Each structure stands twice: as structure tokens, then as C-alpha cells.
């Protein structure tokens, strides 16, 4: 049995890590805005099954994103000990301003637990002998945003936070943007055409179907 590797502690946050954090938080906010736009725009244009697929897809992504954003605040943004008094004051003011928003988000007290058990660890709860949340009737017990209205509310809160970050830390965000822009926007080179990709996929599925047929023939032979 391999010994457990110790998780590295978050290093002391310098200006570079702080600038990264500002960029990450605004990035999450832009994503939240897009999710919210999708939820509001498709509601009356698709059938119930399609609506459920979209809602659950967005819900799970939002759960992951919310936990990541909270980690950014706790590990990289708020702990920054700037040598600049002006920056310190902005961070302190920001923390005070968003306190009601964070308090509202934290009312969904199982966000992290849901992320860990359901999204990150194959629906299994390690504290419960790795039993499945589906077969153990625990999936409905999590206190998380569930309805479409809950999701819209959470997305609005995330969007609000990041708009405030973008406004109060404009200089740091522009610094991060300049770094990102310096990498250029050259798309990744596509190694093969769509036609070739479709052909390869079809060959794999044909081989799979062939093996299913062989398995069924084998079962019939054993039954006889």
C-alpha cells in the first residue's frame, strides 16, 4: 500500500498569484453570465427532457465553479498581504462589500460536500464506506441549489461578485489580460478532418457491435 502523499500547502501569496486570482474570479463571473443567459433564453423553446438535461448540465458545472471561486477567495485573493496600503484597503473594502453575497451563497451549506461526493468521486461517499448516493437515497439530502430559480439566483450572485472584482481591481485585471493577450489567439491545429474523425468513430462502434453479437451468440450456445 502506497503511503499517502502530503498535500502541499498553499504558498504565501505574492502579487503574481493575486493578479492570477483576479483573472480567475472574473473568468468565473463571465462563465456564470453565459450560463444564466442560456437558462433564461431556452426555457420556453425546448421540451421538458431537453430542459432537464440543460439544467443538470449547468447545475453540475456551477457547483464545480462555485467551489473553485470560493477557493480562489480563501486561498489566493483574501490572504494577499500587499505592501501597498491602498491595495490592502481595497481588499478589506471588497471583503466587507461582498459579505452579504457570500453569506447567501453559504446558506447552501453542502456545496463542497456535493462537489466532493457526487461530482469528483463517482457518486460515492468516502465517509459512508464509499456507498453510492444513488443507491443509498442520499442524493436528495444535499443542501444545494436545485431548482432553475435557485441556479439563476446563484449565477446572479457569482456575476455580481466578479463585476465588483473587475471594477475594484481594474489595474490587476488589465495586467492579467495583457499577459493572456501576449500568448496570441492561434487555434490548435486540427490533426484530422471531421470526416476522418467520423469514419474512425464509426469503425470503433462497428467493432463494438460485432463483439456484442459474438457475446450474444456465446450466451445462446451456453443456454443450449
Tens-place pLDDT, residues 175-216? 999 999 998 776 666 666 788 888 988 999 999 999 999 999
- Tell me the pLDDT tens digit for each residue of 47-66: 777 777 888 888 889 999 99
pLDDT, position 75: 93
pTM here is: 0.79
For residue 5, what are the CA distances in angstroms to 1, 8, 65? Answer: 12, 9, 26
Cα–Cα distance for residue pair 135/122, rounded to 1 Å: 13
**What average pLDDT is seen over the chain?**
87
Higher pLDDT, 162 or 148: 162
Amino acid at each position: 500500500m502506497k503511503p499517502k502523499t502530503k498535500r502541499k500547502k498553499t504558498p504565501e501569496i505574492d502579487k503574481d498569484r493575486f493578479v492570477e486570482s483576479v483573472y480567475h474570479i472574473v473568468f468565473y463571473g463571465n462563465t456564470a453570465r453565459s450560463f444564466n443567459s442560456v437558462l433564461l433564453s431556452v426555457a420556453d423553446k425546448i421540451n421538458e427532457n431537453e430542459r432537464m438535461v440543460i439544467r443538470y448540465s449547468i447545475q453540475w458545472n456551477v457547483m464545480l465553479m462555485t467551489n473553485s471561486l470560493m477557493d480562489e477567495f480563501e486561498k489566493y485573493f483574501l490572504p494577499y498581504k500587499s505592501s501597498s496600503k491602498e491595495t490592502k484597503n481595497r481588499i478589506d473594502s471588497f471583503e466587507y462589500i461582498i459579505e452579504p453575497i457570500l453569506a447567501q451563497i453559504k446558506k447552501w451549506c453542502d456545496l463542497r460536500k456535493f462537489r466532493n461526493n457526487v461530482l469528483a468521486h463517482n457518486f460515492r461517499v468516502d465517509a459512508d464506506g464509499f456507498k453510492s448516493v444513488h443507491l443509498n437515497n442520499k442524493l436528495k439530502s444535499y443542501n444545494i441549489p436545485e431548482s432553475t430559480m435557485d441556479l439563476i439566483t446563484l449565477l446572479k450572485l457569482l456575476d455580481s461578485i466578479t463585476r465588483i472584482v473587475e471594477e475594484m481591481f481594474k489595474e490587476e485585471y488589465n495586467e492579467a489580460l495583457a499577459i493572456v493577450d501576449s500568448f496570441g489567439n492561434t487555434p490548435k491545429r486540427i490533426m484530422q478532418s471531421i470526416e476522418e474523425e467520423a469514419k474512425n468513430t464509426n469503425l470503433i462502434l462497428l467493432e463494438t457491435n460485432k463483439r456484442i453479437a459474438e457475446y450474444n451468440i456465446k450466451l445462446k450456445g451456453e443456454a443450449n
